[in-house]
Amino acid sequence: MVIFRVPAVVSLLLLSSYIKKKLPIKYQEIVEATSQKYNLDKYFIYAVISTESSFRENVESHAGAKGLMQVLPGTAVWLNKKYSLNLDTENLFDPKTNIEFGCCYLSFLIQSFENLETVCAAYNAGPGNVDEWLTKYSSDGKTLDKIPYKETEKYVKRVMTRYEIYKDLYN
């Protein structure tokens, strides 16, 4: 019996190809331009989009969040007023509009919370919840030592893991 060994390089290429299919780069022009506009890491945006919608632009959550970055209509209205974005809040399934709102919101959250894991928690559970959690579950006032919502805890881990993979795979 003949046993064929696949060289390690070939194995790594196959694995890399498989991961790229699972974690693709899509909407590259929009993501790169918008991430630059808001001074965000594009790989972080890809990780959020991948986690939120798996790059499906017409998806809507049970809570009413819409599009690639799962933006709530109320959040879009608030962002439009706060930052004078003049975007169509009824058009959240449009990739450019959705990514603009999502990046603007992430930029706001980063200014508010600084720590990316805390920002992810706020993106998922809302900044009000995270403000409360920081008073109860933080040793430094910035980093959450515990996330009391299991869904949010899993969400943060998924985004941060994907973020690291995107950086390693595409950088």
52 catalytically annotated: yes
3-class secondary-structure state, position 60: strand
Comparing C-alpha atoms, which of 23, 68, 21 is closest to residue 49? 68
Say which of 32, 52, 90, 117 is annotated catalytic. 52
Element (H, E) at 118: helix 116-125
Q: How far, in Å, CA of 21 to CA of 38, rounded?
A: 27
Residue type, 40: L
Tokens of 36: 């630059």
Backbone angles phi, psi at 60, to 5 degrees: -135, 135
Q: How far, in Å, CA of 67 to CA of 96, rounded?
A: 10
The catalytic residues are 52
